[in-house]
Amino acid sequence: MLCTNVNMILFGLLVSLVNLPTDVAAAVIAFGDSNVDNGNNNDIVTMGKANFLPYGKDFEGGKPTGRYTNGKSLSDIMAEKLCSMKYLPAYLNRSIQDEDLLKGVTFASGGSGYDPLTSKPMNVLTLLDQLVLFEEYIGKLERIVGEEAARDIIENAFFIIVSSSNDWAISYIGAPLRSFQYDVPTYAKLLVTLARNFIQDIHKLGAKKILVFSTPPIGSFPLARTMAGGPHRMTVNKYNEAAKSFNSMLKCQLQLLGKSLPESRLYYVDFYYPLLNIIENPQKYGLQVTTRGCCGTGIIELSILCNKFISTCPDRNKFLFWDCVHLTERGYKIFVDQIMPDLLSDIQSRD
């Protein structure tokens, strides 16, 4: 009992030092792809990096951090809205401090997906790799604040999963090994099964509040328009239909899974229709360009093709996309502003 009291006192002290609210979730923990990778790929031997200019030019100090945008990433903005965090650190960041761990981290790796095959072309972290890092993270929390307080942090944290886009873009369309093995509905079903298994895995480790993002309208992204949209770079409807097929199955699976996992609260976060609405109605959101990115020509630049030797658009706030697949900081903020009212209402109704 004495050890438990000491641990809780230490936890309370650390909470006060990092100014965490004690009546709401004190942590945000993210898994997935480049939308929520804030630098984990920096020290991996991979081409899938974003730790060079112009990436990060609008982040603090104008320094690239490995975020695949000009400023804050999707995970940063979600952490800000959910827990008033300034930003969400990458778990593999060498300068991460104990107080950072208490508030949460992202294990995400740009280029990954639910399908383990998706991570292989760029040699990035699979979701299984991210799960192993999460287990390591729990051990670090226990050493900092003790087992009981560490368990409280995990059980009260918001878990964010943003995956599946690369499964379609890399494994099914780009590579495209999976398209020889599966038709669209069958591959979508496989991805939903893999998503379910991952959710069950993190739930076993203590995760309760789990936000699962759907696939965005990938056929409306600048890269898809360039590669398969013809001379006029039109929306590639078959890619969007694949995304909708997966999303429909995912939403149903989350409803079923939420009934079977003890004390779990699973939230389906629509990454498709809110973003598509922004793409198709830019003026409504103060934007001017939604069919190409800000970096270079905006039609093909991504990762090393978006570099300091090419120009960027003069006003990033007028562009939805930063490069040919990732949003600008403003784009992410506009998107989060669209989903947050209903999401918060749903979260509060289940608390």
In a domain, 351, yes or no: no
**Which residue out of 33, 76, 152, 323 is catalytically annotated?**
323
As a whole-number percent, the residues of the chain with pLDDT over 70 amount to: 93
| Tally of domains within the chain | 1
In a domain, 313, yes or no: no
Q: The domain containing residue 21 runs over which residues?
A: 16-277
What pLDDT was estimated at residue 175? 87
In a domain, 227, yes or no: yes
Provide the 8-state DSSP code for 116: G
User: Which value, in Å, is the radius of gyration of the alpha carbons in the chain?
Assistant: 20
Residue 1, pLDDT > 80, answer no
In a domain, 316, yes or no: no
Residue-wise pLDDT for 137-167, tens only, equals 999 999 999 999 999 999 999 999 999 999 9
In a domain, 326, yes or no: no
103: domain CATH number is: 3.40.50
Give, rounded to a whole angstrom, the gap between the first and last alpha carbons of the chain.
Answer: 29
**Which residue out of 37, 152, 214, 326 is catalytically annotated?**
326
| Number of Cβ atoms within 10 Å of the Cβ of 120 | 15
Residue 47, pLDDT > 60, answer yes
pLDDT band at 36; cut points 50, 70, 90:
very high
What pLDDT was estimated at residue 29? 98
Cα dist from 139 to 3, 148, 292, whole Å? 17, 12, 43
Residue-wise pLDDT for 305-339, tens only, equals 999 999 999 999 999 999 999 999 999 999 999 99
In a domain, 220, yes or no: yes
Average of per-residue pLDDT values in the chain? 93
Cα 45 from Cα 54, distance rounded (Å): 21
Query: Can you tell me the mean pLDDT for 62-81?
Result: 97
pLDDT band at 23; cut points 50, 70, 90:
very low
Catalytic annotation on 323? yes
What pLDDT was estimated at residue 351? 79
Residue 249, pLDDT > 80, answer yes
What pLDDT was estimated at residue 37? 98
**Which residue out of 33, 34, 220, 245 is catalytically annotated?**
34
> What is the residue whose two structure tokens read 């398209």?
179
In a domain, 295, yes or no: no
In a domain, 181, yes or no: yes
Residue 19, pLDDT > 50, answer no
> What is the residue whose two structure tokens read 């979730």?
25
Catalytic annotation on 203? no
What pLDDT was estimated at residue 24? 39
**CB burial readout 263-278, b (16+ within 10 A) else e:** ebbbbbbbbbebbbeb
DSSP output for 184-251: HHHHHHHHHHHHHHHHHHHHHTT--EEEEE----GGGSHHHHHHHSTTTT---HHHHHHHHHHHHHHH
